[in-house]
Structure 1
Amino acid sequence: MAAGAGVYAMAQCVETVGAGGCAQCLEVASSNIDLCPPNSDGRAVDVGCYMRYSDKPFFPANETADLAPYLRSGKSRVKGAIVGGILGGVAFLLLLALLALLWIWRSKKLHKPQRGDILGATELQGPTNFYYRDLKAATNNFSEKNKIGEGGFGDVFKGLLKNGKIVAVKRLSVMQTSRAKEDFESEVKLISNVQHRNLVRLLGCSRKGSECILVYEYMANSSLDKLLFGERRGTLNWKQRFNIMVGMARGLAYLHQEFHVCIIHRDIKSSNVLLDDDFQPKIADFGLARLLPDDHSHVSTRFAGTLGYTAPEYAIQGQLTEKVDTYSFGIVILEIISGRKINDTRLEPEAQYLLESAWKLYENENVIKLVDESLDHDEYMLEEVKRIIEIALLCTQSAAASRPTMSEVVMLLLSRNSPEIQPARPTFIDSTSRVQGETSVSSSSSASKATVSMSQLSAR
């Protein structure tokens, strides 16, 4: 700046800054100018104050000027933008968090399981839906080579899904009525919520027109009847057979008493018991499953089950309780011990069915003749076999009230010091005589209730 030239300067703070704050602010502004002072004109701005000098007047003579534009410029503008940006960002993040919470709440509400339309059910989740074309491809168009089972309600096929998982695909024959479809949907919803180590798990379903398909987990060792009576007869040792009895009892106890509603299977038989890789049993085919009403009794207008395995009160009168499954379980126990089918009379010169034969051998204290000849005699103890036969006969008592619950059966099988069992003579049903809906029945009029106390079992 030339010698003798005049210098003009000004400084001002905002009105909201006190005297001390203004002095500090101007001090900072002055030091900022000293860092790089221009020759003719310099400006310094700090938050709340403004300073300027020049070799020329920058205000009109004898007039005041509005300094607001100067105070909004420079560092104050930058810092204000930073503060505003931070506050805006925080507000934006809070808005995103709120929207995310609303979306999660709405999703849970939309996907919340609807109250089941099955009798007595609480809230059940729906099954997984498979594409029909995927199941068709998995079973090679339901090829006969892939068929692993068949029954009155449809055939079962082995399938390989795209993810490499092996499944059992069951095609059901369902009527094209709206009621039949409703029953199917209700039943599938029920089955998909039943999960137990001794029950075959339903993975999902599919429906195309009148064709309904259920997808189950695949059991490598097929069904129990094939290992007892088929080409693989003699495969099971005594320990495996005993574990199968206990596993079946636990699965039925879960259905009857541990699930949130009582489920009656109605078709317990050796062909409906599947075995996994370790020969652990899993009860299958819930196509006939029904829920037990609150009054614990139900008269069915339509018989469903397999004669020989079916309890007399259900086969003859249509009276359905969970003790129907108990009776069927007792028959399967006899099949497991003997390796004989319930209706196999070829080994008996008197053409006696398995239950009647078992009772007579028990009466004559000759139960060793009932044991499967393929079993190694060193694998079991005769007293143990006798006790299990007593449990089976207790399960097949004529009066349903005399039969134990399945949870009591589990305790009887596993307990070594349980009460003495003295079963009464059961009712014998000729599964070949069924004329005009009537079943031929013979029983002893002197049959009495078993002496074992159910309250004793429950207390144990």
Structure 2
Amino acid sequence: MFPKALVFIFLVKLVASSNHGFIFNGFRGANLSLNGLGDITPEGLLRLTNFTKEALGHAFYPLPLHLKNSSTGTVLSFSTTFVFVLQPQINYEQVCGHGIAFTISHSKNLPGALPSQYFGLFNSTNNESKENHIVAIEFDTVQNLDLGDINDNHVGIDINSLKSVNSTPVSYVDDKDGVLKNLTLVSGNPMQVWIDYSAMDMKLDVVISPLGVPKPKHSLLSTKLVNLSTVILDGMYVGFSASNGAATSSHYILGWSFSINGKAQDLDISQLPSVPQQGESKKKSSLLLIVALALVTAILLLLLCTGGIILILRRRKKYAEVLEEWEVEFGPHRFSYKDLFKATKGFKEENLLGAGGFGQVYEGLLPGSKMEIAVKKISHESRQGMREFVSEIVSMGRLRHRNLVQLLGYCRRQGELLLVYDLMPNGSLDKFLFSKTKPSLNWSQRFQVIKGVASGLLYLHEEWEQVVVHRDIKASNVLLDSEFNARLSDFGLARLYDHGSNPQTTRMVGTIGYLAPELSKTGKATTSTDVYAFGAFILEVACGRRPLEMRSTGESTPGLVDIVLDYWKKGVILNAKDPKVGSNYVEEEMELVLKLGLLCSHPEPTRRPSMRQVVRFLEGDAPLLVSPDSFSASASAVNCDDASDNIILSYPSISHTTSATDSVLEDISLMH
């Protein structure tokens, strides 16, 4: 007799070398290769992710499949169908995980893969690499402009990269009436997918429909794939990958069928497990217990009626909100005060993250969803302009970029406006630059922060549907996530206007040291004034000094722009760097940042680059050709002596604290 180990190896090779097919009507007891958050629930659901942030999950059939003809080297035909459900953590589309991908991969482990926009398939260095050998069909629920996504609800075909070779919004044609009907991936409803690859035509077809609707005759996506044989190796694994970012979803597979050189078997819908609904109660009480509880409840209500009414009135007053008719249109962006009160433990001091001119910021954990948030409380005594201000807040909530803090929504109560954001675990950048209690950032981290803020500003200035001028760029308004990626925050002073239009004159706002000199004359906040502030900011990061510092006597020292420019003229510009960086830095990068900071802070607006040019300089796509002779005496700080009454200042980023009129809502009508 053969040893058992040899028999097992023989059987594995025999199965893997055949034209393979399998079917799972539910996954109870299934033998799959799982990693990350991937697991099989007691109900028989294949769950790729739960509501964990910045996490991924994989599930692969455990044996490698031979998808190539051994004699010709061409890829064989294959067919698969599966049923999935994407269940968002919060019941509206704007807050959800990144989606799911059916995957054909040379490896079932995918080492180095990252969550968020990388779907658990790639990372920032190997995306688009021919060495990946991955074919994926993505069902994407977050639009990422860097990856060329068409929207936040699409299907795409990916070859070694998350930049899809073809993609289309999610929909299907109902064969009964021939009408095209849209589908929403994060609806929480089960959907069935059919994917078929024809070796003869080298064509991949994708079809989708709600569960229970027969397979539509019209393909949602049909693409001829050339040279797929260079991507598919001899032994490949098939399965699924999903990921979450700052917002989360649970990604489920209910059933799955796969076949090589033949049609995948039909799933038995009646055998598929059901996805549990959020907050679903499990009522298993007997009729007698229900009657007894009802009787006891009735007695208690009779005894405590008066006290109950008083308690309800008190609670209503405690959680009373301001809600007017015009706010109905902003419904999905509005949080209840009760939820925010509970999330922050009643806005207790132990939950206070910080305080500034525009209010206090508290950390919180939303009840039910367990989502970590930051809540900013702002006073608003005046009703004037509030509708326009809330409208602008909701517009900001539609901004989507990896280097912007996500504004989730708002709440109004009595004399307060509460803004709800994603929570950034590492807090603000300035603490790592100037606090003695925080470790200093190394140069690599600082350079990535600078590039991240530049990318976010490019999106605000040129890539969103309107032009967004931030008006208060500085280190204290840059927050760091768990991996020290930069997120630009605090849009309390931001202005929006249409591309191609002329910004209106308004009251001058911002922080001394970051204000462009032309603001005191024109009063117009433009993308160029943002570039000026960005220049001051990157000098602040590179030099570890604030743009404007004051002695204890109240006298100002030379501005940071003047200091760096003086070093440059002496031929020793690198002497301006932060001593805490030490010697472990790239001289070319440091020199580029210092010179670019001076160019962005040029006193003449026409000499400053656009943010698109800034990003090209930082990425090394264009040389920075500038000399110290092109700079005259700088205006590193605005002369506010004659105009201080007309300036709204956020809390100043200078060493010597000064008093300032900080309220963003002090005269809100002038901000619109």
Give the partner amino acid of 1:209.
Q
Hey, what does 1:135 align to over in structure 2?
Answer: 340
Q: 1:369 aligns with which of 555, 575, 580?
A: 575
Q: Are the aligned partners of 1:292 and 1:321 in contact in 2 as well (CA < 8 Å)?
A: no
Q: Displacement, 1:427?
A: 2.8
Q: 1:196 aligns with which of 379, 382, 401?
A: 401
Hey, what does 1:165 align to over in structure 2?
Answer: 371
Q: Distance in 1 between matches of 2:550 and 2:567?
A: 15
Give the partner amino acid of 1:217.
D
Give the partner amino acid of 1:370.
A
Q: Distance in 2 between matches of 1:316 and 1:343?
A: 21
Q: Are the aligned partners of 1:307 and 1:315 in contact in 2 as well (CA < 8 Å)?
A: no
Indicate the structure (1 or 2) with the bigger Cα radius of gyration: 1
Hey, what does 1:359 align to over in structure 2?
Answer: 565
Q: Distance in 1 between matches of 2:439 and 2:557?
A: 24
Q: Are the aligned partners of 1:174 and 1:180 in contact in 2 as well (CA < 8 Å)?
A: no
Percent of matched pairs sharing the same residue? 36
Q: 1:355-434 to 2 correspondence within 5 Å?
A: 355-381=561-587, 383-415=588-620, 418-422=623-627, 423-425=630-632, 427-430=634-637, 434=641
Q: 1:31-70 to 2 correspondence within 5 Å?
A: none
Q: Which deviations, in whole Å up to 9, do the C-alpha atoms of 1:276-310 show, x marking residues without a partner?
A: 01100000011111113455433433121111111
Q: 1:245-284 to 2 correspondence within 5 Å?
A: 245-284=450-489
Q: Distance in 2 between matches of 1:192 and 1:320?
A: 21
Segment of structure 1 superposing worse, 322-331 or 399-408: 399-408
Q: Are the aligned partners of 1:343 and 1:431 in contact in 2 as well (CA < 8 Å)?
A: no
Q: Distance in 2 between matches of 1:181 and 1:125?
A: 13
Q: Displacement, 1:188?
A: 1.3
Q: Displacement, 1:209?
A: 2.8
Q: Displacement, 1:363?
A: 1.5
Q: Are the aligned partners of 1:297 and 1:319 in contact in 2 as well (CA < 8 Å)?
A: no
Q: 1:174 aligns with which of 353, 370, 380?
A: 380
TM-score w.r.t. the length of structure 1 is 0.64
Q: Distance in 2 between matches of 1:299 and 1:427?
A: 26
Hey, what does 1:216 align to over in structure 2?
Answer: 421
Give the partner amino acid of 2:631.
A
Cα 1:367/1:183, change in 2 over 3 Å: same
Say whether residues 1:151 and 2:356 are aligned partners. Answer: yes
Q: Are the aligned partners of 1:173 and 1:211 in contact in 2 as well (CA < 8 Å)?
A: yes
Q: Which deviations, in whole Å up to 9, do the C-alpha atoms of 1:32-55 show, x marking residues without a partner?
A: xxxxxxxxxxxxxxxxxxxxxxxx
Gaps of 5+ in 1: 1-96, 109-123, 440-460
Hey, what does 1:308 align to over in structure 2?
Answer: 513
Q: Are the aligned partners of 2:561 and 2:636 in contact in 1 as well (CA < 8 Å)?
A: no
Give the partner amino acid of 2:598.
L
Q: Distance in 2 between matches of 1:312 and 1:355?
A: 13
Gaps of 5+ in 2: 1-175, 188-328, 647-672
Hey, what does 2:495 align to over in structure 1?
Answer: 290
Cα 1:426/1:250, change in 2 over 3 Å: farther
Q: Which deviations, in whole Å up to 9, do the C-alpha atoms of 1:384-434 show, x marking residues without a partner?
A: 322211111110111212111111101001116525223523632446853
SS in 1 for 2:520: helix
Give the partner amino acid of 2:473.
I
Cα 1:385/1:322, change in 2 over 3 Å: same
Q: Are the aligned partners of 2:517 and 2:638 in contact in 1 as well (CA < 8 Å)?
A: no
Q: Are the aligned partners of 1:127 and 1:205 in contact in 2 as well (CA < 8 Å)?
A: no
Give the partner amino acid of 2:584.
D
Q: 2:644 aligns with which of 417, 431, 437?
A: 437
Q: Distance in 2 between matches of 1:393 and 1:426?
A: 12
Q: Are the aligned partners of 2:506 and 2:524 in contact in 1 as well (CA < 8 Å)?
A: no
SS in 1 for 2:420: strand
Cα 1:203/1:332, change in 2 over 3 Å: same
Q: Displacement, 1:190?
A: 0.8
SS in 2 for 1:379: coil
Cα 1:432/1:302, change in 2 over 3 Å: closer
Q: Distance in 1 between matches of 2:467 and 2:639?
A: 31
Say whether residues 1:320 and 2:515 are aligned partners. Answer: no
Q: Distance in 1 between matches of 2:381 and 2:634?
A: 36
Give the partner amino acid of 1:337.
A
Q: Are the aligned partners of 1:229 and 1:341 in contact in 2 as well (CA < 8 Å)?
A: no
Cα 1:180/1:360, change in 2 over 3 Å: same
Q: Which deviations, in whole Å up to 9, do the C-alpha atoms of 1:353-378 show, x marking residues without a partner?
A: 21211111122122222111111213
SS in 2 for 1:352: coil
Q: Distance in 1 between matches of 2:601 and 2:561?
A: 9
Q: Distance in 2 between matches of 1:314 and 1:190?
A: 25
Q: Are the aligned partners of 2:425 and 2:481 in contact in 1 as well (CA < 8 Å)?
A: yes
Q: Point out which structure has higher relative CO (alpha carbons under 8 A, 6+ apart).
A: 2
Q: Are the aligned partners of 2:333 and 2:394 in contact in 1 as well (CA < 8 Å)?
A: no
Cα 1:209/1:346, change in 2 over 3 Å: closer
Q: Are the aligned partners of 2:514 and 2:637 in contact in 1 as well (CA < 8 Å)?
A: no
Say whether residues 1:184 and 2:375 are aligned partners. Answer: no
Q: Which has the higher strand share?
A: 2
Q: Distance in 2 between matches of 1:264 and 1:351?
A: 29
Hey, what does 1:35 align to over in structure 2?
Answer: none
SS in 2 for 1:297: coil
Q: Are the aligned partners of 1:220 and 1:276 in contact in 2 as well (CA < 8 Å)?
A: yes
Q: Which deviations, in whole Å up to 9, do the C-alpha atoms of 1:126-170 show, x marking residues without a partner?
A: 652211011112112212221112222211111121132211001
Q: Are the aligned partners of 2:549 and 2:556 in contact in 1 as well (CA < 8 Å)?
A: no
Give the partner amino acid of 2:641.
R
User: Number of residues paired by the alignment?
Assistant: 321
Q: Are the aligned partners of 2:394 and 2:409 in contact in 1 as well (CA < 8 Å)?
A: no
Q: Which has the higher helix share?
A: 1
Q: Are the aligned partners of 1:204 and 1:216 in contact in 2 as well (CA < 8 Å)?
A: yes
TM-score w.r.t. the length of structure 2 is 0.45
SS in 1 for 2:579: coil
Hey, what does 1:17 align to over in structure 2?
Answer: none
